[in-house]
Structure 1
Amino acid sequence: MRKTFRIKKPEEFQMVFNKHHSVANKYFIVYQLHKPGQKHFRLGLSVSKKIGKAHDRVWVKRRIRQSLLELKPLIPNELDLLVIARPAIAHQDQHFVKQQIVHVLKLANVLASDA
C-alpha cells in the first residue's frame, strides 16, 4: 500500500479520533471519518505491544494492509480509516484476518453486505 494511502501524522490520527464513528468486533476496532473530495481512502494502523514482540506486530500490520488492499475497490474514496488491532488477532492466518476485517467493515457500513 502506497504511503499516500496512509495516515501517519499524530494530528491526523487525533482528528479521526475526535470526529469519529467507531465499530468493533473481537479482533479490531475501526474508526472512520468522512472527508468529501478526497481522491482515495487513507489508512492508519495501531498495533499495541499487547500483540507481542516487534516482529509479531509487523506481521499483523502486513496482514491488515494486504487485506485492505484486496478490498480497495469496495472501500469509498472519501474515508479515513483507523484500524486498531486487538490482542486476539495475534498468530492468526491471513484468511482469518481478512475475514475479520470484512466483518468489522460491514458493521461500519463501509462495505456492502454482500462483499
Structure 2
Amino acid sequence: MMKKRFRIKKEKDFKVIFKRGKSYANRQFVVYLKDNQEIPHLRLGISVSKRLGNAVKRNQIKRRIRAFYQLHKNELKSLEYVVIARNPVKDMDYHEIEKSLLHVLRIAKCIK
C-alpha cells in the first residue's frame, strides 16, 4: 500500500506534470517525469484508460504498477512520475510490466 504523500491524485497536479515534465515512452507505457524541489521523495500518478478494460482489469493494472514502484522505490530518483498505460499492458503479467517499466525508466535515466 502506498502512503498518501507518495501519490499524485489531483487533476491540476497531473496537468502541471504533463505541461512542464518530460515524457519518455515505449510500446507499453508513457512516463512523464518532473523534478520537484519541495518534496524529498518520489510521487506517483497512474493513468489507465477505459479502453484497456473494465474497472477490475484497470485496477489490476494500477496495482501492478504500484507494486513495481514499491519494490523499486529505493533505486529510483526522487521525482514526480506519471505513468500512462498503453493498450498492450492489458495482456501482460506483473513480470512483463516490471521489465517494460524498467526499460522505459532506463531510457529516462531516472534509475540511480
Give RMSD over aligned pairs. Answer: 0.9
- State the secondary structure of the residue aligned to 1:50: helix
Match of 1:69 in 2: 70
Rounded to whole Å, the distance in 1 between the matches of 2:50 and 2:9 is: 18
Structure 1: 5+ residue runs without aligned partners? none
Structure 1 or 2: more helix by fraction: 2
Give the CA deviation at 1:37.
Answer: 3.9
Q: Deviations over 1:9-58 (max 9, x none)?
A: 11111110110100100000000001124121100000001111110000
When the two structures are superposed, what TM-score results if normalisation uses the length of structure 1? 0.93
Identity, in percent, stands at 39
Matches within 5 A, 1:76-91: 76-77=77-78, 79-91=79-91
Q: How many residues align?
A: 111
Match of 2:48 in 1: 47
Rounded to whole Å, the distance in 2 between the matches of 1:85 and 1:21 is: 16
4+ residue runs over 4 A deviation: none
Match of 2:105 in 1: 105
